[in-house]
A = this chain, B = another copy of it.
């Protein structure tokens, strides 16, 4: 599971989007070329930069190539909920193709390399290849599953479980794109951002992290996080299924190829 796709063709540089979509649907060379074209114009920005803001009109989605970003919603009095973190290969947010305004803001966490993808480009692709259409829909569904699990964690789990859940989620997603191994991962967010993702104050987040450390589940050193006891962490987290990538059934793939 860990970075299998990366080692598949080590000599050939593939965009993280292709790597990701390929985990669920067989892509033809033509599909791959079309997807590569989506990311041909690369933009860069510094960490902390805002990529777009909630309620503003938008016509393009952001395709992340390299670096971290996060999406959040901030209330008028400053309370902020981080909706999720965006990793290389994530298309944020595809819903721009079907709605005209963002429901949230997006901000770079680290220096970022990204492309802007216009709605027309993706809808043209969909028209030409329903297989690519399904792949995008699938990516969107995966995103939705993550948000749903996040809602359950924030709504019904204790601070301890919730933080464990959040880190488990990131670890799993990073392993899927080959950016983490079984030992741990790099996570370049400050505790204020993590707290806003968990729906906690940063003070209580700090205490919770110390407790996870004290009890031997995970350890943080700077931006490096290591998983000390994956088994107990998994038990704590409970909902891990929504994070799995399920390839499209062959039956359906064949139908889409006709």
Instruction: Tell me the nearest residue of chain B to A127, going by C-beta.
Output: B130
CB distance from A71 to the nearest CB of B (A): 9
Complex contacts, A252 vs chain B, CB 8 Å = 97, 119-120, 123
A65 at the interface (CB under 8 A from B): no
Closest to A83 in B: B148
A3 within 8 A of B: no
Cβ of A45 under 8 Å from chain B: no
Interface size on A, residues (CB 8 A): 61
Cβ A148 vs Cβ B238 within 8 A:
no
Residue of B145, B149, B199, B242 near A155 (CB, 8 A) is B199
- A141 beta carbon closer than 8 Å to chain B: yes
A-B contact pairs, 25 of them (CB 8 A): A24-B98, A54-B241, A79-B157, A81-B151, A94-B141, A97-B137, A97-B252, A99-B246, A103-B239, A103-B242, A104-B148, A119-B249, A120-B252, A120-B255, A123-B134, A123-B255, A126-B133, A127-B256, A130-B133, A147-B147, A151-B151, A154-B199, A155-B199, A156-B196, A156-B199
A residues whose Cβ falls under 8 Å from a Cβ of B: 24, 54-55, 73, 75-76, 79-81, 83, 94-95, 97-101, 103-104, 119-120, 123-124, 126-127, 130, 133-134, 136-138, 140-145, 147-152, 154-157, 196, 199, 238-239, 241-242, 246, 248-249, 251-252, 255-256, 258
Give 9 closest A-B pairs by Cβ, nearest first.
A155-B199, A95-B141, A98-B138, A103-B242, A81-B155, A81-B152, A127-B130, A81-B156, A79-B156
